Amino acid sequence: MSNKTVIKRQGLMRLIFTLSHSFNGLKWMSRFEAAFQQELVLFSLLGVFVWLQKIVLSDKLLLIASLLFVLFAELVNTAVEVVVDRIGSEYHELSGLAKDIASASVFIAMLITALIWWAVLWA
């Protein structure tokens, strides 16, 4: 074990570094992850659609939040896939299961989003 002392960033510097890591993750996803790219396009189109609707602000925010939830689920799904792939490229049942479960989370997020949109706009 090393005798190096780890200095943790605090306050504003910690926030800046955290935001830079978040931005790097979003940038990578936007460049290399096809599903995230498609969901971003859908988010943009539906986001504009929402703001053009004559509905109360709280409903607009709920609809936007539901779209962000899909992007969140895709980020988590890809993170799981990246970690599993980092561990090894050989087939393992648990690796496949982890990827399937992470993918299912995206599907569930999409179902939740569809239900929210139905409830706000058509129910």
The pLDDT value given to residue 2: 57
pLDDT digits (tens, 9 = 90+) for 107-123: 999 999 999 999 999 98
Burial class (CB in 10 A: 0-12, 13-18, 19+), 22: exposed
Q: Are 67 and 107 in contact (CB under 8 A)?
A: no
Within-domain flag for 16 = no
Instruction: Give me the helix-helix angle, 11-32 and 57-87, nearest 10°.
Output: 80
Q: Could you tell me the CATH number of the domain that includes residue 75?
A: 1.10.287.3610
Considering the domain boundaries, does residue 9 fall inside one?
Answer: no
Per residue in 16-68, pLDDT (tens digit) is 999 999 999 999 999 999 999 999 999 999 999 999 999 999 999 999 999 99
Domain encompassing residue 47: 34-121
The verdict on residue 7 lying in a domain is: no
Within-domain flag for 60: yes
Mean pLDDT of the chain: 94
- Give the predicted TM-score (pTM) of the model: 0.88
Among 59, 66, 47, CA closest to 108: 66
Q: How confident is the model at residue 1 (pLDDT cuts 50, 70, 90)?
A: low
pLDDT at position 44: 97
**Catalytically annotated residue among 33, 39, 74, 90:** 74
84 vs 2: which has the higher pLDDT: 84
In a domain, 10, yes or no: no
- Assess whether 74 carries a catalytic annotation: yes
Domains of the chain: total: 1
